[in-house]
Amino acid sequence: MSKNACVLVCVTSQPNCERLIRAGKKIADGERVPLQVVSVQRAEECFRPNPEALENLHQQAKAVNAEMTIYFNDSPAITAAVHAVKEGAVNIIMGFPKENSTHFVEDVHMLAPNIPISMVDSDDKIYQMIPAASPQTIHHR
């Protein structure tokens, strides 16, 4: 059974993920739901994690009173989508995909098609995939 609704921010261990957490906080406050942060690291990282990067993510989440979950799994889209559904996410926040990037955004959208996805570009602009629309339909928020 899912928990109460939340906004879920998907982050990596890169330092620029703070902007995603800030955007997620803004959306969560607007929706009046708690914020959660999830990071899916490669499975091999569980044997040699980057403690500084993980601590930085934890501190960023803590600064906005968000719960932080870290998974070690080689199927990040599946892991993030299952977590989003399980936690009752009303919106999933991600970075805007760069050219030649993985298909993480599209895969999560395909796996959790009823949850809106908000993508944050490098200028902090937020774009949203609407659940009823096709994956190519993106709206600026």
Give the model confidence (pLDDT) of 65-105 as tens digits: 999 999 999 999 999 999 999 999 999 999 988 776 778 99
Domain range summary for the chain, segments of one domain joined by +: 6-140
- Residue 21, by phi and psi: left (phi above 0), alpha (psi -120 to 50) or beta? alpha
Query: What integer pLDDT is reported at residue 139 of this predicted model?
Result: 52
Helical H runs in 1-141?
18-31, 51-63, 76-87, 104-111
Give the model confidence (pLDDT) of 16-52 as tens digits: 888 999 999 999 999 999 999 999 999 988 888 888 8
Region 120-124: mean pLDDT is 90
Quickly name the fold that domain 6-140 has. Rossmann fold (3.40.50)
